[in-house]
Structures are given as C-alpha cells and as structure tokens.
A and B are shown apart, each in its own frame.
Chain A
Amino acid sequence: AQSVTQPDIHITVSEGASLELRCNYSYGATPYLFWYVQSPGQGLQLLLKYFSGDTLVQGIKGFEAEFKRNQSSFNLRKPSVHWSDAAEYFCAVGGYGGSQGNLIFGKGTKLSVKP
C-alpha cells in the first residue's frame, strides 16, 4: 500500500539551530516527492520537489531535501532555522504507479522555534 510517514508530530528547535524533518514513504513505482509548508491559517505552499536527477534538491526559503531510494526517505533540512519557519510541514508522494496519480500526504510535523 502507498503511504507516507512523518514520524515526528512536533519538533522544537532553537533559532539558528539546524533542522531535519523526517519523511519515509512506501510507493510501488518511481516516486515523485514533495515538501509543503503551512503557516497558521494559511493554505499549503510548495517548498521543493523531486522528480528525477540529482538526489539533493534545493527549495525556497533555504530548505533542501535529499532523496535516498535505498532508505525510502526524503528528509527536509535547513542549516539555520529562523523564527518565521515555525509552521507545519507536510511530505507528499505521487507518481504514475498508483493512487490514480494523486498525491499521498503525510500527517505533518509541527515545527516550533525557540528564541
């Protein structure tokens, strides 16, 4: 079955510290992978995406993610967190192999930032 797991429901980091949000997926075909961010009261905004090629992808707001096929993971990273990064983050997987081509979303990780 296709699924996305974000093991951490809530993470708190200090401003200026590094960040890694975990995402593991199960998908029967070549996956397309996405990270979205949702600020309070807002819709979801695309941070970055991976379709093929270089497994380290750069996104907006200084975020990057690395696709590791052998670990079925697509973790999101940022070297130095800013207070404005406090939000909820969603990982998603899609592709032509199933789920009618629709994206499958994880349940999200809420990020809090300490001053």
Chain B
Amino acid sequence: NAGVTQTPKFRVLKTGQSMTLLCAQDMNHEYMYWYRQDPGMGLRLIHYSVGEGTTAKGEVPDGYNVSRLKKQNFLLGLESAAPSQTSVYFCASSLQGPYEQYFGPGTRLTVT
C-alpha cells in the first residue's frame, strides 16, 4: 500500500516549456487535489476532483490544467511554464471532501 505517490520528485523547466505532474493513489479515494506551497503562503488549492472524469477549479487555477481519466490518477499540466510557477506541488486524496487528506511527498519545480 504505497498511499499517494508523485512523479517526478524534481524538475527544472525553461520558461514556455510544458510538463505534466502525475499523482497516483491506491486507497480507492474519490477526491483528489493539487496544491502548491510557497514560503509564507501555506497551501493553496489549484484544482481538485470529486470523482473519475470530474475536475474543478480551486483558489489558484490559472496557468494549470488537470485531468482525471482514471480514479487512481490525477494529472496536473503546465502548458507554458512561467517563473511564477516555481513552487513545491503536493497531491492529496481523501475518501470524501470534508475528511482527512493524505498527501504525497511533493514535486519541487523550478522554472528559469
């Protein structure tokens, strides 16, 4: 039982490049989330999903897209990376929305 896994762990992009972050969970959770964490800002919700095939915007969705084609996977895409997207990205999952969330180890992304 791996819980929540994220790939890659680290990535460096040049401005304008694209990439996809993969999150996988093996707990059969309905809800999945993508957050970004910046110093002094806490966790900010980018997008979330309440089930397979659904996605919704969070607090800071601009510049990101997501997809949830399979229940266990939640993908976060950056179509044209900007230096402002330099951050640590965390994926999380929960059985239902109000319940505790389980977090992955994070992806550190640097955009130069």
Contact residues of A with B, CB < 8 Å?
A: 9, 32, 34, 36, 41-46, 49, 90, 94-96, 100-103, 105-108
- In Å, the complex CA distance between A49 and B100 comes to 8
**Contact between A43 and B90 (Cβ–Cβ < 8 Å)?**
yes
On whether the beta carbons of B33 and A102 are closer than 8 Å, the reply is yes
**How many residues of B are counted as interface, with CB atoms below 8 angstroms from the partner's CB atoms?**
23
Q: Are A46 and B100 in contact (CB under 8 A)?
A: yes
Q: Which of B33-91 contact A (CB under 8 A)?
A: 33, 40-43, 45, 48, 56, 58, 90
CA distance A5 to B23 in the complex (A): 29
Q: CB within 8 A of B106: which of A42, A45, A49, A106?
A: A42
Give B97's nearest chain A residue, CB to CB. A101
Minimum Cβ distance to chain A for residue B19 (Å): 20
User: A44–B103 contact, CB under 8 A?
Assistant: yes
* B97–A45 touching, CB < 8 Å: no
B106 and A94 contact, CB distance less than 8 A:
no
| Bound Cα distance A36, B102 (Å) | 10
Task: Please give the distance in Å from A39's CB to the nearest CB on chain B.
Answer: 11
Distance between Cα atoms of A103 and B48 in the complex (Å): 11
Q: Is the CB of B43 within 8 A of A43?
A: no
Q: Smallest CB–CB gap between B18 and chain A, Å?
A: 25
Partner of B45, one of A32, A46, A90, A102: A102
18 further A-B pairs in the complex, CB-CB below 8 A; given A32-B99, A46-B100, A94-B97: A42-B106, A43-B103, A44-B90, A44-B92, A44-B101, A44-B103, A45-B103, A46-B102, A49-B100, A100-B97, A101-B96, A101-B97, A102-B48, A102-B97, A103-B101, A105-B42, A106-B42, A107-B40
